[in-house]
């Protein structure tokens, strides 16, 4: 056996002479690895930035959040013993300008220690502590929408404030979570004068601590929990300052990574076709080496080194692009991302992407490479007419091991392994369906009667003759058309849900913090504005789940899968009747005049995640008081009706002792909507008016960004599918050259040869269009209904046009790939036989 240096010298010289045939291998691997590396690096970049800036994002080393109440004197003393304390109160409130216009905002009251970390910046410069007494800082969006500037006045509740500055940077903005309006900041000492903190008002108190050096936030949180077991606060520490944002980024990153992996697997088919085409072009060299005495192993190693070298360069180029992607995306995306990823190299996602690329190269390049080992030199010279050689068992085992390693790597690095396994299973299932269809097309074509017209007979023969590329063409065309249909169905379903379904079902306003004593006056004001108004008003409280089925939430090492209801505080309500938009699926509803021990009705999916059964107990902490209720029923909830939907609905009398207000939805005509948007804030200063169109706008923006990210990742898969199609055409080019030459010698014209090729591709495109329509719609249904939890309503016209365009594009690529065959020189081709 030749030493490695000699093998590489032969491989390098041959590769330098003609690398053209491996371009498809290089392009496919580059696309797949670059996509995976970019998605992985971007996800890691954002999460790393969240970790590094954890103290600033959170506003402290550890935070204690309380719904609808402020800390007691004893709790405040406990905080101060643990570290430096900063207290804030945050609530939704209406900003009223001197002209009577009102705007929903996030009112935040801060103390003298704010911010503990980071810098509060106004357009005029950095500030420390709260605004001066009687002054307020407002967001630039509020200033623009209410036409305000520094020195003007704006009113919150019963208090008028002078605008002292416009906010340029709020250091803990990301940690505050989702907001429905621009922020306004006042001093904590000015908050009582607004009269917005009434019994039952919906607000949140946050107490951030700056701990001494070396202190562990988790230990401090546990100690304060033990000292105040009934406090009912939610604890967050600096290691995860924005948990909701982090979960969203990680889940979206996992989904996009799986899409990228699917693109890489598709590209792998192109790798196999590219290697097969390359080795077909190297057939004389392979035979010459064998004639000169090289054994099959030596020949395989020489060309294996060439393939490995090109693969390594392609993978390296993909890693470089993927490593640079976070900085480029951060610059292009601007404020779309929650935080801009830092300029850094993240080794783990790059290593995982490189491993994927190498495994894909091995899995798909080995079969055509190994096939040459078992064909003698004479067979290589006449391979065009004798067909490909068999693949031995060691090669099959090696390919299977590489594919198993890909699956293990995908599942092992996934945040949700079962989801990753299901996604991979679906991708494998799609490939198997296409492979089976390719076999079925060949078999059916071989059994059909021979057409009388020569061109039709030739087109039919092209589908089933020895060495036909039908299988590879079916896989390539099927993947591309399926992705085209899926993307069109996803985009149009989301657009339909947002633009058509939501506005038809949505009310005009949500109104928060309507005093219970003023409920009748509120109804009268709305009906006076519009006699046909639809009003739904229910009690509203906030509390956190502390126990279920006898299990204490604070004693759980990890929350059950899907048990999001256990994170932080939740909206609670009580009702004598089954709420609108709910359907009872288990148990029985209590009587309207029920006054017995507390009962609770739980949304079905949440109940399943908690393992609840009828008769189990569930406890909630409301304003520091723990209330235990027995599970009486399960409900399904129509979440997309923009109504007042609650996971937990309690029986009447459960919270009689707890101060609380009402929330309402109001649906009125256009003129009444404009009038009420001005009159309700003046008549009910403590109430907050949320225009549904603003909510729809924010949801639309978020979902549009998500669907664009999915489309961007899937477009790589489409490009890989096109590369696979080109590779399949290239892999069969040698055989088609000889066919073209023979047909020319028999008198066929260029148009007749091209017509036969066109018929072949048209038949395949027509068959696959039907299959792609079914498979693409099924995949889109899963994404829309399971990932976005929307109704599935694709636009038939757009889907049909997309399918037609994809089929047309595939047909044109096939014809373009056949065009060079027409210029083949008969004498040169015949001399190669």
CA 526 – CA 683 distance, rounded (Å): 11
DSSP bridge pairs for 636: 583
DSSP, collapsed to helix, strand or coil, labels residue 424 as helix
In the numeric block, the tokens 């108004």 are attached to 533
Contact call for residues 370 and 392 (beta carbons, < 8 A)? yes
Contact call for residues 131 and 164 (beta carbons, < 8 A)? yes
DSSP bridge pairs for 667: 534
The pLDDT of residue 601 is 95
b/e map of 571-588 (b: 16 or more CB within 10 Å)?
bbbbbeeebebbeeebbe
The pLDDT of residue 659 is 86
In the numeric block, the tokens 């126990």 are attached to 547
| Eight-state DSSP code of residue 36 | H
φ and ψ at 464, to 5 degrees? -130, 0
Contact call for residues 220 and 49 (beta carbons, < 8 A)? no
Give 121-138 as a 3 state SS string.
EECCEEECCCCCCCEEEE
pLDDT for 764-817, tens place per residue? 888 888 888 988 898 888 877 876 667 788 889 988 888 888 888 777 877 776
Q: In this prediction, what percent of the chain has a pLDDT beyond 90?
A: 18
The pLDDT of residue 632 is 95
Between 23 and 500, residue with greater pLDDT: 23
Which residues have a Cβ under 8 Å from the Cβ of 674 and sit 6 or more positions away?
Answer: none
CA 116 – CA 54 distance, rounded (Å): 12
Q: In this prediction, what percent of the chain has a pLDDT beyond 70?
A: 77
Q: Is the omega angle on the peptide bond into residue 115 within 30 degrees of 0, that is, cis?
A: yes
Contact call for residues 625 and 658 (beta carbons, < 8 A)? yes
pLDDT for 292-314, tens place per residue? 666 666 777 777 888 888 888 88
CA 802 – CA 484 distance, rounded (Å): 7
**Can you spell out the DSSP letters for 492-538?**
HHHHHIIIIIHHHH--SEEEEEE-GGGHHHHHHHHHHH-TT-EEEEE
Nearest to 352 by CA among 39, 724, 713, 712: 39
The pLDDT of residue 245 is 58
Contact call for residues 798 and 488 (beta carbons, < 8 A)? yes
What would the mean pLDDT of 106-122 be, rounded to a whole number? 91
CA 794 – CA 817 distance, rounded (Å): 33
> CB atoms < 10 A from the CB of 812, how many?
12
The pLDDT of residue 681 is 85
CA 626 – CA 232 distance, rounded (Å): 8
CA 230 – CA 651 distance, rounded (Å): 23
CA 757 – CA 391 distance, rounded (Å): 29
pLDDT for 525-535, tens place per residue? 999 988 888 88
User: For residue 476, what pLDDT band results from cuts at 50, 70 and 90?
Assistant: confident
User: For residue 387, what pLDDT band results from cuts at 50, 70 and 90?
Assistant: very low
What would the mean pLDDT of 171-187 be, rounded to a whole number? 81
DSSP, collapsed to helix, strand or coil, labels residue 431 as helix
The pLDDT of residue 272 is 73
659: tokens are 């101060």
b/e map of 686-705 (b: 16 or more CB within 10 Å)?
bbbbbbbeeebeeebeebee
pLDDT for 603-659, tens place per residue? 998 999 999 999 999 999 888 788 999 999 999 987 665 667 889 999 998 988 888
pLDDT for 31-82, tens place per residue? 778 878 887 787 777 777 666 667 777 788 888 988 888 899 999 999 999 9
């Amino acid at each position: 056996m030749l030493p490695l240096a000699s093998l590489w010298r032969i491989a390098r010289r041959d590769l330098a002479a003609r690398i053209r045939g491996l371009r498809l291998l290089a392009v496919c691997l580059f696309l797949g690895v670059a996509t995976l590396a970019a998605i992985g690096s971007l996800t890691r970049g954002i999460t790393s930035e969240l970790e590094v800036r954890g103290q600033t994002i959170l506003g402290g080393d550890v935070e204690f959040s309380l719904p609808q109440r402020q800390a007691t004197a004893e709790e405040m003393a406990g905080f101060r013993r643990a570290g430096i304390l900063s207290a804030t109160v945050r609530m939704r409130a209406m900003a009223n300008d001197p002209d009577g216009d009102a705007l929903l905002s996030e009112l935040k009251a801060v103390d003298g220690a704010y911010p503990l970390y980071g810098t509060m910046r106004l357009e005029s410069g950095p500030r420390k502590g709260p605004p001066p007494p009687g002054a307020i800082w407002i967001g630039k969006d509020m200033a623009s929408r209410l036409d305000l500037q520094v020195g003007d006045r704006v009113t919150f509740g019963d208090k008028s404030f002078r605008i002292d500055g416009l906010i340029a940077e709020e250091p803990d903005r990301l940690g505050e979570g989702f907001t429905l309006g621009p922020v306004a900041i006042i001093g904590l000492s000015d908050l009582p004068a607004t009269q917005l903190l009434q019994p039952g008002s919906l607000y949140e108190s946050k107490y951030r601590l700056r701990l001494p050096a070396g202190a562990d936030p988790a230990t401090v949180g546990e100690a304060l929990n033990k000292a105040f077991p009934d406090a009912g606060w939610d604890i967050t520490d600096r290691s995860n300052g924005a948990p909701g944002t982090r979960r969203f980024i990680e889940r979206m990153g996992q989904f996009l990574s799986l899409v990228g992996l699917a693109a890489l697997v598709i590209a792998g088919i192109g790798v196999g076709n590219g290697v097969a085409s390359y080795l077909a072009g190297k057939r004389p060299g392979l035979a010459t080496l064998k004639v000169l005495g090289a054994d099959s192993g030596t020949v395989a190693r020489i060309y294996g080194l060439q393939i490995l070298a090109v693969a390594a360069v392609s993978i390296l180029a993909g890693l470089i692009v993927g490593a640079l992607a976070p900085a480029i995306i951060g610059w292009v995306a601007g404020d779309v991302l929650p935080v801009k990823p830092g300029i850094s190299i993240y080794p783990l996602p790059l290593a995982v992407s490189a491993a994927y690329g190498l495994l894909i190269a091995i899995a798909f390049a080995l079969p055509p490479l190994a096939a040459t080992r078992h064909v003698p030199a004479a067979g290589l010279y006449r391979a065009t007419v004798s067909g490909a050689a068999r693949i031995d068992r060691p090669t099959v085992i090696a390919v299977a091991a590489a594919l198993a390693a890909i699956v293990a790597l995908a599942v092992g690095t996934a945040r949700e392994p079962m989801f990753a396994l299901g996604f991979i299973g679906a991708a494998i299932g799609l490939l198997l369906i296409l492979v089976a269809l390719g076999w079925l097309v060949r078999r059916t074509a071989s059994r059909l009667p021979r057409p009388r017209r020569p061109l039709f007979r030739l087109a039919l023969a092209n589908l089933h003759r020895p060495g036909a590329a039908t299988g590879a063409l079916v896989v390539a065309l099927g993947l591309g058309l399926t992705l085209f249909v899926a993307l069109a169905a996803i985009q149009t379903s989301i657009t339909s849900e947002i633009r058509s379904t939501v506005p038809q079902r949505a009310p005009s306003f949500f109104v928060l913090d309507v005093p219970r004593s003023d409920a009748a006056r509120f109804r009268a004001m709305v009906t006076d504005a519009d006699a046909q108004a639809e009003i739904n008003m229910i009690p509203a409280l906030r509390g956190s789940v502390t126990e279920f089925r006898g299990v204490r939430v604070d004693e759980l090492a990890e929350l059950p899968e899907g048990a999001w209801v256990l994170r932080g505080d939740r909206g609670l309500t009580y009702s004598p009747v089954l709420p609108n938009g709910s359907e009872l699926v288990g148990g029985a509803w209590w009587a309207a005049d029920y006054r017995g021990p507390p009962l609770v009705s739980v949304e079905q999916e949440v109940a399943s995640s908690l393992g609840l059964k009828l008769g189990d107990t569930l406890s909630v902490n409301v304003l520091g008081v723990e209330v235990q209720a027995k599970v009486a029923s399960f409900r399904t909830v129509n979440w997309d009706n923009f109504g007042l939907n609650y996971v937990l609905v309690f029986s009447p009398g459960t919270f009689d002792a707890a101060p609380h207000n009402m929330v309402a939805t109001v649906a009125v005509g256009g003129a009444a909507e404009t009038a009420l948007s001005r009159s309700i804030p003046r008549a009910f200063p403590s109430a907050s008016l949320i225009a549904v169109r603003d909510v729809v706008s924010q949801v639309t923006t978020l979902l549009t960004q998500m669907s664009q990210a999915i489309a961007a990742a899937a477009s790589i898969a489409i490009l890989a599918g096109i590369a696979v199609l080109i590779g399949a055409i290239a892999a069969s080019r040698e055989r088609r050259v000889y066919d073209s030459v023979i047909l020319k010698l028999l008198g066929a014209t260029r148009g007749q040869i091209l017509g036969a090729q066109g018929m072949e591709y048209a038949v395949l495109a027509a068959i696959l269009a039907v299959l792609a329509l079914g498979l693409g719609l099924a995949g889109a249904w899963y994404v829309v209904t399971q990932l976005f939890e929307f109704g599935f309503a694709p636009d038939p016209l757009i889907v049909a046009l997309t399918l037609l365009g994809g089929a047309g594009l595939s047909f044109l690529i096939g014809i373009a790939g056949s065009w060079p065959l027409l210029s083949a020189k008969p004498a040169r081709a015949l001399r190669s036989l």
